[in-house]
Amino acid sequence: MRKKYLVDVIIPLPLSNYYTYLIHSKIDVGTILKVPFGNNNESINAITISECYEKKVSFPVKEIISVNQRLFSNKQIKFYKWISQYYMVELPKVFNSLFPKHIFNIISKKISSNISTNNEKFKSNIVVDESPNFISFLNKEIKSQTIKNYQILILTPNILKSYEIKKKLKFKSYLFDSSRTEKETKDIWGSVNNHQNIIIIGVKSALFLPFSNLSCIYVLDENDVSYKESDKVIRFNTRDSAVMLSKIHSCNINLLCNFPSIESTNNILDKKYQLVNKSKNIKLKQDNRIRVINILENRIKEKYDGVLSDEIKMEISSRIKKNKKILIYSPFTSTIEDIKKSISKNGKGLFLKEIIKKNLISKSKIERLIENINDYNVLIGNQSILCNTLFDQFDMIVLIEPEKIRLKGNYKSNEIIFNLLYKSVNYLRYKDSIEVIIQTNESQSSILQNALKLDYKSFIRGELKERKIFKFPPYSKIIKVELNSPNKENNSKVGSSLFKDLVKEFNDLEISDIGISSDGKKYDIIIKYIDLNNLKLKKEKLNIFLKKIKKDKKFNDILLNIDIDP
């Protein structure tokens, strides 16, 4: 009689559960299978997430149809399980959300279950390097990494930064992001999966490639808010997830920054991270290269049209006549149209391009933009256009009301604003021809004054003090429960009911009813854990409660998302 084993699998669909199947021989974790699924026993792909085991069960178990190749390593499955547990999203939804469907067509070499592991003690380093793109540090580091077998991951906060790093890096590398073609995605996935020596430069999605034995991870601009996923089912933080990935692979991770984030500073103080200071004592030669325009003063003098001051408009007009180029930062895409109208009123010879998300969704659009970038004399966009050598010909940076970032209601707003100001001012140290104009309602704020002096230590001290008083991270853990529905009335009703249920069930927690969004499509509830002891168990208790309550029919038309560290 043939031996029978059970194995747990997930179906890469937006489902909540894993499934158990019967097999007659042992197979590895991460193997692709064909299994009968549903009432009609439709043949469908599945992925093994457990070792084969023997166990008596009281329910009928379907038998696997066929065994295909192994496409995921143990380390990758382990990483996905951590993502699922930490960010409180069911494992099948993690797979369905994160990996491309056409990877099932990749031909994989046999993955050894005993791939050699780096036995050296790995380190999490915070590398303070005040250069705009860290390229000197990267070239020197990677040279020492590429002597033997290597897989290196370089994470960037946005696609334009990835292109800049690829252009400057002295070693052959591959870009990986959502704009890659299907063929490129399959080729890169296959190369990584088959243990080829490779350097990947990518954004958030590159984190989930099937690495078997990473040599080193580099996270550029680790303090950039773009590393936080805020739109998808899984609201993961790329930097924090990369640190866990480095632990799984026992490899070093270097978190590069002009100055460390608040979270990283706290981890340095707690001795979780090691500080590596690579900053150079390059003095900032201001020479009237920074101007701060006070909106209130200009409004009183009637030299402000509600969008731009007369001084900025005159400066832009003058520069265009001299064939000079300008970068304009706006905190919100919605204000870009107003800025364009304000400039265009007296914009003879104006060639303006807005850098927004829809211009960066395909490889052809991105490469065409970069190729033709110097055909324009004004670029308007978000933080991705700043401090990037792809735009070297643009020698003036105009920051429009960066303090409006606070309108998003994020406790990290001060840090985001300071980061933006600091990087823009710091860029002057490396490019003598650049000037910066800051149009603001907060010309005397300590945030701006510290940024102008490039004094990040004073800012961090003040911010940590304030967060400690108000019990914000790192002195607490925040979880946002978000309800999404096109029906405003239903969203509000169910959201209010859920808030009351949470307060009743978890009376030891600080729970805030943020309420309905302006468009009515979203309802937010904030949960704050002040006592961080046994946090894993407390999160699991919340997760079980939310899973149970989601079964109520009133949630049928509502998508419930959980955001850890929003």
pLDDT digits (tens, 9 = 90+) for 356-404: 888 888 999 999 999 999 999 999 999 999 999 999 999 999 999 999 9
Task: Find out if CATH 3.40.50.300 is the number for domain 124-277.
Answer: yes
Q: Which CATH architecture has domain 290-459?
A: 3-Layer(aba) Sandwich (3.40)
User: What pLDDT score was predicted for residue 115?
Assistant: 47
Domain-wise residue ranges, the chain: 5-105, 124-277, 290-459, 477-564
Q: Which residues pair with 378 in a beta bridge?
A: 326, 352
Q: Is the dihedral of CA 140, 141, 147, 151 positive or negative?
A: negative
> Comparing 5-105 with 290-459, is the CATH topology the same?
no
Rounded to whole angstroms, the Cα distance separating 556 from 54 reads 37
CATH T-level topology, domain 5-105: GIY-YIG endonuclease (3.40.1440)
pLDDT tens across 14-66, in order? 888 899 999 999 999 999 999 999 999 999 999 999 999 998 888 889 999 99
**Count of helix runs (H) and strand runs (E) in the chain:** 16, 22
Mean per-residue pLDDT of the chain: 91
What's the predicted TM-score (pTM) here? 0.93
Q: How far is CA 212 from the centre of its chain?
A: 22
User: What pLDDT score was predicted for residue 114?
Assistant: 45
The CATH code for residues 477-564 is 3.30.70.100
Exposed, middle or buried, 268 (CB in 10 Å: 0-12/13-18/19+)? Answer: middle
Residue positions counted in the chain: 566
pLDDT tens across 212-234, in order? 889 999 999 999 999 999 878 89
CA atoms within 13 A on the CB side of 125: 19
